């Protein structure tokens, strides 16, 4: 296709391209422009030199990270927490979407949907403060309820406790994001041809059969795409949540790369080191996405590219 033909086609569909424009601008500003700063990972950042004027340092900061005695612990914790979030956090919105699809009372359905979205808009600071109040070992309502109903003898220490750490992290993550993440599945389910359900009913399929044979295949493609994208965040366990919920008592299993990067870069002023660790996370994420994309293409014929 010649350039003039391409421009003609773009001009003909200009309205659609216009819709794309905000997204393109967003990605350009927030994903491509910052790539210029990646060079800091290979430089000794100086206030006076800035990004491009600081002296080159080669792989010095990558070596520093891998020489750091906790680097393997940080990588392990990050991957473990991310994996748990991927497995549990990925499945729960699908379950919610399917459950909501089965609700026939529209008013109830809308109410549940709205309530499930709301936590997504609450900042982690507020969520963690709420959790500290609710789950407190000393007069927290959850413990009061558990003790008064004789479910436990003594109040449970939910926070700052390695035995409860993963449950708390996963529970709060699912609670906060389940509603929002289910939107895309609800939309996909809404796009399934209703005649398929009617035909299944006539063939004697019950609700579970319909879900299994119609709803699930109907959202399979979108689920695979989202799964591939989600693997990209396997090296990122969630900065705000872990910063707020991890403490000295849970540091052995709760210290993750995201918080390490922020501490090194902002609190300790080691910007080049932080950029190097951040870049390491991104490169691994890219490799993961490419690998999973390839596997998905072979296994299910669905892939990003």
Partner 1 sequence: MWNARGKVAATVLTTAMLGSLLAACGNNDNGDTNGSTNGASNGGSDNKPVTLKLLHNWNGSGGGNVEPDMTPIAKAIKEKTGVTVKFEYTKGSEVEKINTIFATQDLPDIYTGPAWGGELDGVIKAAKEDQLVDLTGKLDKYPNLAKEVQKENVPPALYDKAIGGIDGKQYMLFQNQPASDKDAMDWLYGFYVRKDIATKIGVDPQSVKTKDELFNFLKKIKDANLQENGMPVFPLGGFSNGWAVGIGNTMFYGSDYADKGDGTLEHVFFTKPYEDYTLYYRKLISDGLLDPETFTQTDPIAKEKINQGRIAVLAAHYPAILDASKEYVKSHPGSDYIPVGPLERAGAEDNRPVDLGIQGNNVTVITKECKNVDAALKLLDFLASDEGFKLVHYGIEGTDYDMVDGKPVAKKDVFDKFNADTTGKAKKDEGFGIGLESMTGLDRTNTLGGDIWADQERTAAMDSARKILRPNGIQVISAYNAGDFISKSPQWETLKPSMDQIGDVWKEAVFAKSDEAALKVINQLRSQIKKTGYDDAMKFVNDSLKGKEVVKLQMAN
The answer to whether residues 102 and 207 touch, using CB atoms and an 8 Å cutoff, is yes
Backbone angle region of 204, left / alpha / beta, with phi > 0 → left and psi within -120 to 50 → alpha: left
Please tell me whether residue 43 binds partner 1 under the rule CB under 8 A.
no
If binding is defined by CB under 8 A, does position 130 make contact with partner 1?
A: no
Binding mask 255-294 for partner 1 (x = CB under 8 A): ---------x-xxxxxx-x---------------------
Dist. CA 296–CA 225, nearest whole Å: 9
Q: Which is nearer to partner 1, 53 or 206 (CB)?
A: 53
**Per-residue string for binding with partner 1, 82-121, x by CB under 8 A?**
----------------------------------------
Q: Is 135 in the site for partner 1 (CB under 8 A)?
A: no
Number of residues that this document lists for the chain: 305
157 binds partner 1 (CB under 8 A): yes
CA–CA separation, 97 vs 130, rounded Å?
26
- Tokens found for residue 302: 């669905």
Residues in CB range of 240: below 8 A, 6 or more apart: 123, 124, 125
* Residue 64 sits in the site that holds partner 1 (CB under 8 A): yes
8 A C-beta contact, residue 228 and residue 298 = no
Contact between 30 and partner 1 by CB under 8 A: the answer reads no
Q: Does 303 bind partner 1 (CB under 8 A)?
A: no
Instruction: Give whichever of 87 and 130 is closer to partner 1, judged by the CB atom.
Output: 130
Distances (CA, A) of 159 to 148, 166, 246: 20, 10, 9
Pick 191 or 269: Cβ nearer partner 1: 269
Write the CA distances from 103 to 100, 111, 175, integer angstroms. 5, 11, 20
**To which H or E segment does residue 85 belong?**
helix 71-102
Token pair 């707020």 in the structure block, residue: 244
CB of 67 to partner 1, least distance (A): 7
Nearer to partner 1, 25 or 249 (CB): 249
Our finding on whether 22 is near partner 1 (CB under 8 A) is no
Pick the binder of partner 1 from 2, 4, 67, 150 (CB under 8 A).
Answer: 67
CB of 134 to partner 1, least distance (A): 14
Q: What is the DSSP letter of 1?
A: -
Note the residues at the interface with partner 1 (CB under 8 A).
Answer: 45-49, 64, 67-69, 132, 138-139, 157, 159-160, 247-249, 251-252, 264, 266-271, 273
């Amino acid at each position: 296709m010649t350039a003039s033909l391409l421009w003609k086609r773009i001009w003909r569909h200009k309205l659609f391209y216009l819709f794309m424009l905000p997204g393109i601008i967003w990605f350009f500003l927030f994903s491509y422009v910052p790539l210029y700063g990646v060079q800091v990972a290979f430089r000794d950042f100086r206030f006076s030199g800035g990004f491009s004027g600081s002296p080159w340092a080669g792989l010095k900061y990558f070596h520093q990270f891998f020489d750091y005695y906790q680097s393997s612990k940080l990588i392990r914790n990050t991957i473990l927490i991310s994996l748990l979030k991927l497995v549990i956090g990925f499945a729960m919105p699908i379950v919610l979407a399917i459950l909501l699809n089965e609700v026939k009372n529209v008013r109830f359905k809308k109410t549940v949907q709205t309530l499930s979205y709301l936590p997504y808009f609450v900042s982690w600071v507020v969520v963690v403060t709420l959790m500290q109040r609710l789950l407190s070992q000393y007069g927290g309502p959850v413990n009061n309820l558990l003790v008064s109903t004789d479910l436990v003898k003594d109040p449970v220490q939910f926070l700052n406790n390695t035995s409860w750490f993963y449950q708390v992290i996963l529970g709060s993550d699912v609670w906060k994001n389940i509603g929002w993440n289910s939107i895309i599945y609800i939309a996909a389910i809404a796009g399934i041809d209703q005649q398929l359900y009617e035909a299944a009913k006539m063939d004697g399929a019950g609700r579970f059969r319909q879900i299994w044979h119609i709803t699930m295949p109907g959202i399979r493609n979108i689920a695979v795409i989202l799964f591939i994208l989600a693997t990209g965040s396997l090296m990122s366990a969630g900065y705000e949540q872990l910063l707020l919920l991890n403490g000295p008592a849970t540091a052995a299993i709760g210290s993750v790369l995201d918080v390490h990067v922020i501490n090194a870069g902002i609190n300790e002023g080691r910007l080049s080191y932080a950029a190097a660790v951040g870049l390491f996370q991104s490169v691994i994420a890219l490799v993961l996405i490419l690998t999973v994309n390839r596997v998905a293409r072979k296994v299910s014929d669905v892939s990003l590219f």
